């Protein structure tokens, strides 16, 4: 293989990317100019009316202009990444990058099964905007790069990068997430990791199907779900037959969902038949499937269809079929779930991150709109009930971002050998995945409504964010599956439960409502049932979020969160904070400059 001299990893650094945005001062100026043009109406004017009371475009804006994000990054050990993060935030909020997000979703990927001569090619074509987004994401270290970086906080920096770059669009986060997540699973087979890891961690985006080892960077996907079962992968029927070469098998079967099928390599689950008297035990096992074999010929990876999905439309999700497909065993035979769970641990964190990103992005959009829109003689942002809605959304967004970064910090420290943080990560990631992704659809619907009818129209971008939100609680373990996984962690890993309560104890005595909720949680652990799993996990998530806010957020935020989410002084929809809530304090923090 080609040995690549790895550049030192500088998160978010990529010189050519520094062009194309003007920085905060320029951004504000440009927004003002756009607003003036809007107020003047169409350059040629309308015969019947002037266009008024419509907000100027939000872009360009700074997607990293969020104290919650920046404080969390410092707290979790990635202060060194802050300057790059700020640049990436301005890049994400640039008009150009925002347009890429829009175009990549309007011009959806197209499957080409055959070439003009009838040969199977099984390729997916994407709009150039998709490639622009991917190039920045990989180039800024949002795929596998942190695994090649020894600096404490490297995984936090990547998560924070996702929180800002995700303001462009969510679909391309799928292959970058899977590439990031494949690395620790692949390490179960060191000789494969030696070949592929340097390419999966490279900051080079090189699309197209070519011999993997001749490319400068690779992307990875995963194939677990089959028609008869996704959550219960033990029902997989894809068969893996050992070849004469040790560790090499051929696969026959199908997958019902395999996203980003133009990735270079996939981690795939299949049922191995015992390795023909060679000592293997058989059973569900994990395999590495490259789309192009080391000799440059195509592996069999027949893409039957692409899914017609609710959202996530920039990203292709396919149904591949394997027939004589060459695959390399990763980890021991029969240990497929144990091997691939290393990948799932990472993609679950990214689901939490993506939900938090959608919340922040739609909150920023809502805040911008209501600042520039008036009704009944006053700006919407000045109307008390609208302030309540925005403040309630802001609390939710802050809790989601803070928890995301805490989970990223735990992952970072766990990777570096911290057993306590590994135990915390084990349970808290499943808790966060359950709760934060569950809040996404309601949150994005409410933020969309802040724009009134404009929010329901595709041009606003809000329908796209709204459609994306439910996906994050489906893949990588649907709601029930995550809730049950928390019960499993409680049952099998006393250290995980202990780590969670140790974390909660750090906030003991700071807020009586939190203390009461933690006592309720402790009592609820006894005799926890499957039927009550969601209730229990919800309480875990809320106590965990509250404990973080009590320790790290301003009193206005922590108090309102505890009063509503724990103290019961709350309605059933967003915008029902009690009169005692300090709305001004919450909004000044959440929407700087939006007063």
Ligand X SMILES: Cc1cc2nc3c(=O)[nH]c(=O)nc-3n(C[C@H](O)[C@H](O)[C@H](O)COP(=O)(O)OP(=O)(O)OC[C@H]3O[C@@H](n4cnc5c(N)ncnc54)[C@H](O)[C@@H]3O)c2cc1C
With CA atoms as reference, report the closest residue to 393 among 132, 172, 87, 68: 68
Binding mask 28-67 for ligand X (x = CB under 6 A): ----------------------------------------
Q: Which of 222, 344, 507, 537 binds ligand X (CB under 6 A)?
A: 222
| Nearest CB to ligand X, comparing residues 345 and 564 | 345
Told to check if 304 binds ligand X by CB under 6 A, we report: no
| Residue of 259, 299, 339, 547 interacting with ligand X (CB under 6 A) | 259
CB of 221 to ligand X, least distance (A): 6
| Residues between 476 and 535 that touch ligand X (CB under 6 A) | 478-481, 484
Strand-pair category, 220-223 with 265-272? parallel
For ligand X, the closer CB: 229 or 452 = 229
CB nearer ligand X, residue 369 or residue 464: 464
Nearest residue to 409 via CA among 394, 396, 395, 428: 428
| Closest to 421 (Cα-Cα) out of 76, 78, 182, 180 | 76
Q: Is 421 left (phi over 0), alpha (psi -120 to 50) or beta?
A: alpha
Nearer to ligand X, 177 or 543 (CB): 177
Binder among 184, 223, 280, 409 for ligand X (CB under 6 A) = 223
Q: Is 205 an interacting residue with respect to ligand X (CB under 6 A)?
A: no
Name residue 254's beta-bridge partners: 321
Which residues lie closer than 8 Å to 534 by C-beta, 6 or more apart?
434, 479, 480, 483
Nearer to ligand X, 61 or 126 (CB): 126
Nearest distance in Å: CB 297, ligand X: 24
The footprint of ligand X on residues 428-487 (CB under 6 A) is: 471, 474-475, 478-481, 484
Q: Nearest residue by C-beta to ligand X?
A: 230
> Among 85, 97, 163, 224, which residue sits at the site for ligand X (rule: CB under 6 A)?
224
* Minimum gap (Å) between residue 240 Cβ and ligand X: 16
Strand partners, 250: 241, 326
The length of the chain in residues reads 595
Query: Which of these ranges, 156-164, 226-234, 239-247, 440-448, lies near ligand X under the rule CB under 6 A?
Result: 226-234
In DSSP terms, 83 is beta-bridged to none
Q: Which stretch binds ligand X (CB under 6 A): 18-26, 217-225, 237-245, 358-366?
A: 217-225
| Stretch of 211-219, 225-233, 385-393, 562-570 lying at the interface with ligand X (CB under 6 A) | 225-233
Task: Compute φ and ψ for 41, nearest 5 degrees.
Answer: 85, -170
Of 442 and 474, the one with the shorter C-beta distance to ligand X is 474
Among 173, 212, 230, 290, interactor with ligand X by CB under 6 A: 230
The residue (of 94 and 317) whose beta carbon lies closer to ligand X is 317
Report d(CA 50, CA 40) in Å as an integer: 7
Which span (47-55, 121-129, 147-155, 215-223) binds ligand X, by CB under 6 A?
A: 215-223
* Nearer to ligand X among residue 221 and residue 290 (C-beta): 221
- 6: Cβ–Cβ under 8 A, 6 or more apart, which residues? 148, 198, 201, 202
Residue span binding ligand X (CB under 6 A) among the ranges 220-228, 328-336, 353-361, 399-407: 220-228
- Which alpha helices (H) appear in 240-383, and where do they start and end? 336-372
Selected from 258, 299, 325, 564, the binder of ligand X by CB under 6 A is 258
| Integer Cα distance of 434 and 488 in angstroms | 14
Among 179, 201, 213, 225, binds ligand X (CB under 6 A): 225
Token couple for 17: 């990317």
**Rounded Cα gap, residues 257 and 318, in angstroms:** 6
Instruction: Count how many Cα atoms sit within 13 Å of the Cα of residue 328 in the half-sphere of its side chain.
Output: 19
Q: DSSP letter string over 308-333?
A: --SS-TTS-EEEEEEEEEEEEEESST
Task: In whole angstroms, give the CA distance from residue 543 to residue 507.
Answer: 10
The minimum distance between CB 343 and ligand X, in angstroms, equals 10
Shortest distance in whole angstroms from residue 52 CB to ligand X: 41
The angle subtended at Cα 111 by Cα 105 and Cα 113, nearest 5°, is 175
Number of residues in contact with ligand X, rule: CB under 6 A? 23
Considering only residues 306 to 345 of the shown chain, the ones binding ligand X according to CB under 6 A are 309, 312, 317
Short-list 87, 247, 234, CA closest to 165:
87
DSSP state of 56: P
Asked if 285 is part of the footprint of ligand X (rule: CB under 6 A), the reply reads no
Pseudo-torsion of CA 407, 411, 414, 420, nearest 10°? 10
Q: Is 182 near ligand X (CB under 6 A)?
A: no
Among 2, 52, 231, 235, binds ligand X (CB under 6 A): 231
Q: Cα angle at 586 between 582 and 589, to 5 degrees?
A: 145
> 213 vs 259, which CB is nearer to ligand X?
259
Cβ at position 486, least distance to ligand X in Å: 13
Residue 90 near residue 62, CB atoms below 8 Å: yes
The residues of the shown chain that bind ligand X, judged by CB under 6 A, are: 221-225, 229-232, 257-259, 309, 312, 317, 471, 474-475, 478-481, 484
């Amino acid at each position: 293989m080609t040995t690549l001299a790895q550049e030192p990893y500088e998160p978010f650094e990529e010189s050519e990317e520094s062009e194309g945005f003007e920085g905060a001062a320029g951004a504000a100026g440009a927004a003002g100019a756009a607003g003036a043009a809007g107020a003047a109406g169409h350059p040629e004017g309308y015969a019947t009316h002037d266009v008024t009371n419509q907000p100027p475009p939000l872009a360009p804006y700074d997607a990293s202009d969020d104290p919650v994000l920046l404080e969390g990054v410092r707290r979790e050990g990635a202060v060194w990444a802050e300057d790059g993060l700020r640049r990436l935030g301005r890049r994400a909020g640039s008009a150009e990058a925002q347009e890429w997000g829009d175009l990549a979703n309007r011009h959806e990927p197209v499957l080409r099964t055959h070439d003009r001569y009838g040969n199977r090619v099984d390729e997916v074509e994407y709009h150039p905007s998709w490639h622009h987004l991917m190039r920045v994401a990989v180039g800024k270290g949002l795929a596998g790069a942190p695994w090649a970086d020894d600096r404490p906080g490297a995984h936090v920096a990547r998560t924070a990068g996702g929180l800002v770059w995700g303001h462009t669009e969510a679909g391309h986060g799928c292959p970058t997430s899977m590439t990031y997540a494949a690395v620790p699973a692949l390490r179960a087979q060191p000789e494969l990791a030696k070949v592929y890891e340097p390419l999966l961690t490279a900051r080079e985006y090189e699309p197209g199907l070519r011999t993997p080892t001749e490319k400068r960077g690779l992307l990875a996907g995963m194939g677990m779900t089959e028609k008869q079962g996704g959550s219960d992968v033990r029902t997989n029927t894809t068969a893996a037959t050992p070849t004469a070469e040790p560790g090499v098998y051929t696969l026959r079967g199908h997958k019902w969902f395999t996203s980003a099928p133009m990735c270079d390599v996939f981690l795939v689950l299949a049922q191995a038949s015992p390795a023909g008297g060679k000592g293997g035990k058989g059973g569900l096992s994990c395999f590495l499937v490259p789309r192009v074999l080391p000799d440059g010929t195509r592996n069999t990876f027949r893409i039957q269809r692409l899914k017609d999905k609710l959202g996530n439309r920039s990203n292709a999700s396919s149904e591949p079929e394997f027939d004589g497909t060459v695959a390399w065993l990763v980890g021991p035979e029969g240990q497929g779930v144990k091997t691939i769970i290393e990948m799932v641990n990472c993609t679950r964190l990214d689901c939490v991150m993506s939900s938090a990103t959608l919340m922040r992005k739609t909150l920023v959009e809502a805040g911008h709109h209501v600042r520039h829109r008036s009704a009944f003689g006053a700006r919407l942002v000045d109307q008390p009930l609208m302030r309540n809605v925005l403040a309630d959304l802001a609390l939710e967004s802050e809790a989601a971002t803070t928890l995301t970064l805490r989970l990223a910090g735990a992952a970072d420290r766990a990777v570096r050998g911290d057993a306590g943080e590994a135990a915390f990560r084990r349970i808290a990631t499943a808790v966060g995945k359950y709760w934060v992704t569950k809040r996404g659809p309601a949150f994005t619907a409410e933020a969309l409504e802040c724009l009134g009818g404009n929010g329901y129209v595709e041009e606003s971008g809000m329908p796209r964010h709204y459609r994306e939100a439910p996906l994050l609680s489906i893949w990588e373990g649907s709601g029930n599956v995550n809730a049950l996984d928390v019960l499993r962690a409680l049952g099998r890993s006393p250290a995980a439960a202990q780590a969670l309560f140790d974390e909660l104890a750090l906030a003991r005595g700071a807020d009586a409502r939190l203390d009461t909720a933690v006592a309720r949680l402790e009592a609820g652990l006894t005799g926890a049932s499957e039927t009550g799993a969601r209730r229990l996990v919800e309480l875990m998530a809320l106590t965990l979020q509250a404990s973080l806010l009590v320790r790290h957020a301003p009193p206005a935020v922590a108090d309102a969160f505890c009063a509503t989410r724990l103290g019961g002084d709350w309605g059933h929809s967003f915008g029902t904070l009690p009169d005692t809530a300090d709305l001004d304090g919450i909004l000044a923090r959440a929407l700087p400059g939006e007063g």
